[in-house]
Structure 1
Amino acid sequence: MTWPIRLGLTGSIGMGKSTVATMFADLGVPVFDADAEVHRLQGAGGALLGAIEAAFPGATGPDGVDRAALGRAVFDDPAALSRLESIVHPAVADARAAFLAANSDAPVVLLDIPLLFEKSGWRDVDKIAVVSAPAPIQRARVLARPGMTPERFEAILSRQMPDAEKRARADFVIPTGGPLEDTRVAVAAVLACLNPPQGE
């Protein structure tokens, strides 16, 4: 196998993916956060503001993309969402390529991609880790977020692959429903499986 190993990290909303990504980073694994890159590209002075404003007039301002306005423009409109993705996805892919080039000497890199399965990002990774917690814990976490409603939560879930299917397709399942230390142990175990033997 060639190095670095590209480990894709994914999981449904509220499963603790960001927490797990931080645990990998704490162990020295370079992390590419697709969501963070989107925020950077759409933030104040972001490279995509002009294209997004042209496609969705009124969706940007001095602070970057008005996420509420953009959300209204694409919600329940597949054509509009596809138009937005055609702007965002190539830019994120370029950033990911630059990240991989900059970390080509690392044994393992983590690609944190929320919709890894839904948007076929799984084709671009070597192994997949899915974070998973029991449904009641997931629901409680998500509904505790500001502005979240049960209806919106259900709408988001409907656009994501079911947790059970993600777990079935994963190389590793990282449990996030218990103590943080248990999750840290699981993260370390995944890394131990992936790191090349000394001397290679």
Structure 2
Amino acid sequence: MTFKLGLTGSIGMGKSTTAKIFAELGCTVWDADAAVHRLYMPGGAAVAPMQAQFPEAIVDGAVDRAALKDIIARDPSALPRIEKIVHPLVGEDRAEFRRTAESDILVFDIPLLFETGGEAAMDAVACVTVDAETQKQRVLDRGTMTVEQFEQILQTQMPIEEKRARADYVIETDTLEHARAQVEQILAEIRGKMADA
């Protein structure tokens, strides 16, 4: 029996770091963002359909994320058209992972898990969380976006309070040690339930 655990949270809450902890503790992790990167690379499954719809988004045989951002900024109706191409391909990538992964607990690192209804395919969901000030500081410390861009992304994501309320497990990522202790506890609980099943 394999247990499917969804891992979600808002930007800057420590999801990627928490996913690494799950991997270190013997879980196999599927990363939605990494899947999109694979699809956008030269030869990736998204390149040809994107080229047909948005030729200006293709640079050196790959889908250019910056170009996509510009397209969406100019024409908000482009986003659902992009999603219509990318979401089914991401779904195929995830299905392939499920077929081939071999650990007892599979972790699905999906930022917009609740927003896309993805929790329905999971056995449980863990949500990472941290206070708003720490979240903002982490994002701005990356040096990849402005305060305005950060605020815009927050607007597209479900409020963290709602994600926490809907999750089966909540992981506070205030420190690495605290996050690891909580992940260990969650895995012990899941593995205990699996042994009893």
**What TM-score, normalized to structure 1?**
0.92
Which runs of 5 or more residues in structure 1 are unaligned?
none
Task: Identify which of 97, 101, 114 aligns with 1:99.
Answer: 97
Q: Distance in 2 between matches of 1:77 and 1:194?
A: 45
Map 1:17-32 → 2, pairs under 5 A:
17-32=15-30
Give the CA deviation at 1:145. 2.1
Map 1:7-18 → 2, pairs under 5 A:
7-18=5-16
Task: Report the counterpart of residue 125 of structure 1 in structure 2.
Answer: 122
Q: Distance in 2 between matches of 1:76 and 1:148?
A: 19
Task: Identify which of 59, 62, 70 aligns with 1:61.
Answer: 59
Contact 2:129 2:171 in 1 (8 A): yes
Map 1:45-194 → 2, pairs under 5 A:
45-62=43-60, 64-75=62-73, 77-103=75-101, 106-177=103-174, 179-194=175-190
Q: Distance in 2 between matches of 1:167 and 1:160?
A: 13
Give the CA deviation at 1:5. 1.2
Which runs of 5 or more residues in structure 2 are unaligned?
none
Report the RMSD for the aligned CA atoms in angstroms: 1.6
- Identity of paired residues, percent? 49
Deviations 1:140-163 (A, max 9, x none): 011122231111111000010111
Give the CA deviation at 1:199. 8.0
Q: Distance in 2 between matches of 1:41 and 1:188?
A: 32
Which runs of 4 or more aligned residues in structure 1 lie more than 2 Å from their structure 2 counterparts after TM superposition?
75-79, 196-200
Deviations 1:102-130 (A, max 9, x none): 12x53211011010011111111110000
Contact 1:75 1:81 in 2 (8 A): no
Residue type at the aligned position of 1:15: M
